Amino acid sequence: DQQVKQNSPSLSVQEGRISILNCDYTNSMFDYFLWYKKYPAEGPTFLISISSIKDKNEDGRFTVFLNKSAKHLSLHIVPSQPGDSAVYFCAASSPSGTYKYIFGTGTRLKVLA
């Protein structure tokens, strides 16, 4: 049973426009969320995170929004750049103290020049 879901396997966006990647989760006990980026033949690398006590976190061109009532989070990239083309994974931390991350299936973003 997939506790973290990314329902869009792929997304194409024009360079300079906004990319919005979505993620849904089922466990209301999740209290920490992260986004990882993965290039081909490399391991995932951390991008941005958000705690459940916040509804927004921003880092440069990347902003993560959290809607706890809807059990939904999204990653916004503005403006999108060709170098952002990668697979993006959403992850959620299981209830505090267990330190493990549950990942989604990933969304492949392609930014068109």
Partner 1 sequence: DAGVIQSPRHEVTEMGQEVTLRCKPISGHDYLFWYRQTMMRGLELLIYFNNNVPIDDSGMPEDRFSAKMPNASFSTLKIQPSEPRDSAVYFCASRSTWGAKSTEAFFGQGTRLTVV
Determine the interface stretch with partner 1 among 12-20, 57-65, 70-78, 103-111 (rule: CB under 8 A). 103-111
Do 3 and 106 touch, CB atoms closer than 8 A?
no
Q: Considering beta carbons, is residue 30 or 36 the nearer one to partner 1?
A: 36
How near is the Cβ of 90 to partner 1 at its closest, in Å? 9
Instruction: Decide: is 102 part of the binding site for partner 1 (CB under 8 A).
Output: yes
Instruction: Decide: is 104 part of the binding site for partner 1 (CB under 8 A).
Output: yes
Full DSSP string of 31-72: -EEEEEEE-TTS--EEEEEEETT-SEEEETTEEEEEETTTTE
Burial class of residue 70 in the structure, from the number of CB atoms within 10 Å of its CB (0-12 exposed, 13-18 middle, 19+ buried): exposed
Neighbours of 16 (CB within 10 A): 11
Name the β-bridge partners of 107: 88
> Which of 42, 53, 60, 113 lies at the binding interface for partner 1 (CB under 8 A)?
42
Report 71-100 residues binding partner 1 (CB under 8 A).
89, 91, 93, 98-100
> Which of 49, 52, 57, 74 lies at the binding interface for partner 1 (CB under 8 A)?
49
How near is the Cβ of 102 to partner 1 at its closest, in Å? 7
Do 31 and 49 touch, CB atoms closer than 8 A?
no
Instruction: Decide: is 106 part of the binding site for partner 1 (CB under 8 A).
Output: yes
